[in-house]
Amino acid sequence: MKRLLLSLALMLAPLAVGAEPYPQHLTTTLNDYADLLAPDIEAEVIAEIEALRAETGVELTVLTIESRASYDPSPSIEAFATGLFNAWGIGDAARNDGILILVVRDDREMRIELGSGYSPEYDLPAQDIINNVMLPAFRAEQYDQGILAGTQAVIAHIARRFAGLAPREGEVPIGAPSSGSAGLTIAVVAAEFLFALGILSLVFRRRLGQFIDRYRRCPQCGQRGLHTERHVLVQPTSASRGQGEKLTHCDHCSWSVTTSYTIPDTSSSSSSGGSFGGGSSSGGGASGKW
């Protein structure tokens, strides 16, 4: 469905000569064209972004695509992200405080692109978030968990700091600008530990049901080793809930059972359409590969 929407958006985009061949955004919060996010995680990411905007006015957006080869022939992800950022106009035009989190699945690369209002000092926490929060999850094929945790880290340690807000309780600055290198080193080490725990917690929460299933006994053969898969049958919309099915089967015999579940509607993202504020980037940020 997401790929179909992207294709329609591209077909409806102006075909003027010299137009930037970047993907079109269908919302200003999250465009998951690589289909990396489960519906529940997607809703969480959107909620985090909308809460940030309501509190600070900072425009943060997340984009996932399959490959840069389908779009602009930029020589690097840095050039691609900067061009896309400016084509979309992410952030307030006066403050230039926009943030883009770009994940390119097949190229196995990503970037956090910052608006030109951020000083070069903010490149450090951006790099730390990529290295210590997002890439470990991506290497484990936990893309949705890495994107959710990375979005939360960018909000906590870049966007809120830029807006002049103190970290919330329990948040440790990760690579934040500091007058002393010793203090910075301690903060980075502590942040790496806390974010590693955060990743483990997110993965545990998501996989708990599957873990329990694998140690349940099969009702038919009595052996342990059930396996669970989830499939989305009907994508949720802003007006209606979606539907999915959970398939549980035994690894040792032919026993299986299918149950249905409901996916919450996306009404929380109904205000995320429209246009960005006209901000720009001069190339600040950080990149990573996995």
Domain spans of the chain?
2-207, 215-263
Instruction: Give me the chain's average pLDDT, please.
Output: 78
Reported confidence tier of residue 271, pLDDT bands at 50, 70, 90 = very low
The token pair that represents 153 in the structure block: 């880290």
pLDDT digits (tens, 9 = 90+) for 102-130: 999 999 999 999 999 999 999 999 999 99
Predicted pLDDT of residue 9:
47
| DSSP code at position 136 | H
User: Which of 104, 100, 156 has the alpha carbon at shortest distance from 288?
Assistant: 104
2-207 CATH pick, 3.50.50.100, 3.40.50.300, 3.10.310.50, 3.40.630.10: 3.10.310.50
State which H helix or E strand residue 45 sits in.
Answer: helix 39-56
What pTM was computed for the model? Answer: 0.63
Structure tokens at 154: 């960018």
How far, in Å, CA of 60 to CA of 68, rounded?
A: 21
Instruction: Tell me how far apart the alpha carbons of residues 111 and 124 are, in angstroms, rounded to a whole number.
Output: 13
Which numeric CATH code is attached to 215-263?
2.20.25
Question: Which residues, in sequence order, are bridge partners of residue 284?
Answer: 114
